[in-house]
Amino acid sequence: MKTAAIRAQEAPGTLPGAQLAVKLTAHDSDAVDELLQSVSTLVLDCDGVLWVGDALVPGTVAALQRFRQLGKRLLFLTNNSSKSRRLYRAKFASLDIAVAPEEIVPTSYTAAAYLQSRNFKKKVYLIGTDGVGEELAAAGIEHVTWQELVGSPTATNGAAEMQREWTAASFGRLQLDQSIGAVVVGWDPNFSYSSMCCAAACLRELPGCEFVATNLDPADNMGNGRMMPGTGCIVRAVETAAGREAVNVGKGGSWLLPFLCEQYDILPSQACIIGDRLDTDIALGRQGGLQTVLPLSGVTKPAQLLEAESAQLPHYVVDNLAALAGISTC
């Protein structure tokens, strides 16, 4: 019933007898059926599973339709914070993928949900895109960015001076907004040294200031063989500057799975997470007691599986999402 297997090489210091990640293909119908019958909820990563960049992975739409025909509940969970739920729904629609708004769970949304769970009432200093800002606004949380501090025509906070010419003196004259109660860091292509300085000052000097990271992904696959530095690079820079560690509200952090289980009434024993990264998707599932499936359509490749320790491996490996649905794309 189970065909080929990928075995993790035993790294120094590990116990012998590494577990197996079972490779399933569309032809392994009995094994695929057994897996799908054992779960009621499928938690799917997006980039690397459904699409790579702006291109659909072959068979994606048919696979999702098959899962729905089988009565599976779908959640689309992505560490990418660049878009809000509204913007993600538009991307799904542009790729002819039918989703309900409540099925989309980006970390732009979980960052706002985390602050709500903390009964947060103050203002956020945001390093990130409009996607996070939109979700904060939807949660009734005010936020400000470095660009807004610099660009305000009536501002007397010293940000514009610091932006014009960064010196120790201009940084020293920067005035912090005492209503800021949290720094949220997401992906931000406009991230700058001055923005980091402001974030570090808030975290060091404002009493009780919270520190939230949308995710810690070090790099993302652009789909052309090039890896783009990810949010984790920005978060680590701010952590170093502030001398503090952020709460990770994305995959790879300890807060997310309990939130999902409560918010979406998920039983881990009846759920499966499908994602292309060992350090986020598979780690989340293994730690929480979910079944785990890793498609080879994204970041992780067979060579990396061979180098992984047994505890890092998924339960199953498939070439793509279609194989898990029993659909051949050949």
Q: Which residues are catalytically annotated?
A: 45, 47
Count CA within 13 A, CB hemisphere, residue 93: 8
Report whether 207 contacts 236 (CB < 8 A): no
Residue 210 region by backbone torsions, left for phi larger than 0, else alpha for psi between -120 and 50, else beta: beta
Using CA of residue 11, residue 245, residue 231, residue 216, what is the dihedral sign?
positive
Place of tokens 């075995």: 7
| Integer Cα distance of 78 and 111 in angstroms | 12
Beta bridge partners of 182: 124, 210
**Kind of pairing between the strands at 5-7 and 20-24:** antiparallel
- Helix extents (H) in 191-272: 193-205, 231-242, 256-264
276 assigned binding-site residue? yes
Report whether 67 contacts 325 (CB < 8 A): yes
| Integer Cα distance of 71 and 5 in angstroms | 29
54 assigned binding-site residue? no
Short-list 248, 242, 194, 198, CA closest to 218: 248
Which letter does DSSP use for residue 314 in this model?
-
Vertex 169 angle, CA 167 and 171, to 5°: 70
| Integer Cα distance of 21 and 318 in angstroms | 10
Listed in sequence order, the residues at least 6 apart from 86 whose beta carbon sits closer than 8 Å to its beta carbon are 101, 134
| Binding region for substrate | 251
- Residues of the binding site for Mg(2+): 45, 47, 276
Annotated binding residues, as ranges? Answer: 45, 47, 251, 276
